[in-house]
Structure 1
């Protein structure tokens, strides 16, 4: 059901998510575009794209689809045509963000495990092409979803809100479409992330043991080799980003499997446990739009320094004006 959820918990949660999500992602984009974090152009482009993807999730999934509906239950977005577009944009932004994480994880796999291929694949030009391709495919994937939505009810001949058509759950073509969507996102995406991370970790552990043996470094001496330290930082960043995506999608995936296996498509109300499971999945899923910037702050020293400089700048400017 694509009707605004009700309740104090939802109001507080989605409002806080909107208030935090927009500025934190804008700050991340600005800092990364300044290119003072010591990252390559390829990595920077992926991280900027992921921050923009997260910002789109905040705008579509949190603000337009949740916050506006909570504070303005009846608005221009309540009309069925607008509701259809809004719903499609939510899914497009969500998938765009997730598959950028997959692309970034694969890029790091190539960069770390395939030195010969790295010079050809891990370039700004290729990264730009991949980001654009992910965006186009995400849009094309959800064109049929627009046709699968109908008015929730009519008010004086005007269609209001939108709901999935009943045939979506029984007709073979719609069932196939739904399963393909959920197999691609998040099932395939999560499997690819785990696979790429496993291959990357395996390569790093093997190469690190060989490097330590050749240099005669004790395993407990982590800071003796700058190359090993760089690899450690890279794997922390990679695991933090991809791990947060996997964890925050688990509840959503469990709910989808449950309602498809048990054919539970109708809820008794907002207190229905299955509805609450669905909303918990959405809440965690939307939370992922704020986690990447927090991860950058925790794992990237230069990113922290840039953020601190940005926070200090207004105070410095005011001090200069006063003096």
Structure 2
């Protein structure tokens, strides 16, 4: 009997995601670190941190766990202590990625809506502190997962694979941990990003309406207003990043909530069951969110597109110039 359809899709999906996502994230980090995308240092630091967290999630979740589990079931990565560490770092990197998105959304909210506060908060120093706090919190939030798992089987006295301990379903401490984990990721980020987006968009619309009123109906309206244009760019980038997060996390968010208020256990083994298909589909969309930001930069940021072109055309130009120089020297000799 063949594999369930959802498993066949996953066996193609995760390698494709890794092949596209890892180089894309490396290119994104390299370009943003050069600081030539006409973005403030504050925004750049958030975007670099988000890209690095997404890259970590791709490594630990997609490559070390999903792909390894499907194609290399008895590699050293499935040795139980290493497997437990990978799963803990997987959750930690996911938490960092999610909460950095929240931090970035909040930073843009302060920058656009809170004129007095942004002088103190929207700085490179404040961004560095916020990133450090968020990442530390995400790592601490994920570390307890290391103690959730035990070996699934023992071969020649060697523990292999990971399975959740039975006590984790009944122990009050672990039940409280699962509830706290569900609230912290994804319920609270989901609500926070949605609320901040609504407040930011409302402020931008009202500010633009007031500014157009001040400008009146004179000839200046035929020219672009730099302030309105900056607000528009900020809104596009903010909505693209946080909006994609909401859309790609929605199915996973629904399954999390459903599991907490029903007798259904998360991660079913019947892959023909409709709920399990929804769960696995939501999980695939959630992993996709770690790659989407790179393409958002490319679509919404003109300078980022130009830097990507330069990154790939510059080596070709250097090689061509070198060949021409060598040919010229030969002719001179």
Partner of 1:249: 249
Secondary structure of the structure 2 residue equivalent to 1:159: strand
Q: CA separation in 2, counterparts of 1:223 and 1:46?
A: 32
Q: CA separation in 2, counterparts of 1:112 and 1:222?
A: 25
C-alpha change, 1:222 and 1:292, in structure 2 (3 Å) is farther
Does structure 1 residue 166 correspond to structure 2 residue 200? no
Secondary structure of the structure 2 residue equivalent to 1:271: coil
Partner of 1:312: 313
Render the CA deviation track for 1:61-101: whole Å, top value 9, x for unaligned. Answer: 11111112222111111111111100011111011001001
- Cα distance, 1:165 vs. partner? 1.3
Q: CA separation in 1, counterparts of 2:151 and 2:81?
A: 9
Q: CA separation in 2, counterparts of 1:34 and 1:217?
A: 42
Partner of 1:286: 287
**Unaligned stretches of 5+ residues in structure 2:** 325-333
Q: CA separation in 2, counterparts of 1:202 and 1:196?
A: 10
Partner of 2:22: 22
Q: CA separation in 2, counterparts of 1:297 and 1:135?
A: 26
Rg (Cα) greater in structure:
2
Partner of 1:9: 9
Partner of 1:277: 278
- Cα distance, 1:173 vs. partner? 2.0
C-alpha change, 1:217 and 1:159, in structure 2 (3 Å) is farther
Please list, as runs of the form range in 1=range in 2, the aligned pairs for 1:26-41 lying within 5 A after superposition. Answer: 26-41=26-41
Render the CA deviation track for 1:43-78: whole Å, top value 9, x for unaligned. Answer: 110011111111111111111111122221111111
**Unaligned stretches of 5+ residues in structure 1:** none
Render the CA deviation track for 1:259-303: whole Å, top value 9, x for unaligned. Answer: 333322373433333332222122111101110010000000111
- Cα distance, 1:248 vs. partner? 0.9
Q: CA separation in 1, counterparts of 2:269 and 2:305?
A: 47
- Normalising by structure 2, we get a TM-score of 0.90
Does the CA contact (< 8 Å) of 1:80 and 1:151 recur in 2?
A: yes
Q: CA separation in 1, counterparts of 2:188 and 2:300?
A: 27
Render the CA deviation track for 1:8-50: whole Å, top value 9, x for unaligned. Answer: 3222111110011111011111111111111111011001111
Does the CA contact (< 8 Å) of 2:95 and 2:139 recur in 1?
A: no
Does the CA contact (< 8 Å) of 2:95 and 2:142 recur in 1?
A: no
Does the CA contact (< 8 Å) of 2:42 and 2:123 recur in 1?
A: yes
Deviates more, 1:313-322 or 1:5-14: 5-14
C-alpha change, 1:268 and 1:291, in structure 2 (3 Å) is closer
- Normalising by structure 1, we get a TM-score of 0.93
Does the CA contact (< 8 Å) of 1:31 and 1:306 recur in 2?
A: yes
Does structure 1 residue 207 correspond to structure 2 residue 199? no
RMSD: 1.8
Q: CA separation in 2, counterparts of 1:84 and 1:243?
A: 32
Secondary structure of the structure 1 residue equivalent to 2:154: strand
Q: Which runs of 4+ in 1 moved over 6 A?
A: none
Deviates more, 1:204-213 or 1:161-170: 161-170
C-alpha change, 1:321 and 1:86, in structure 2 (3 Å) is same
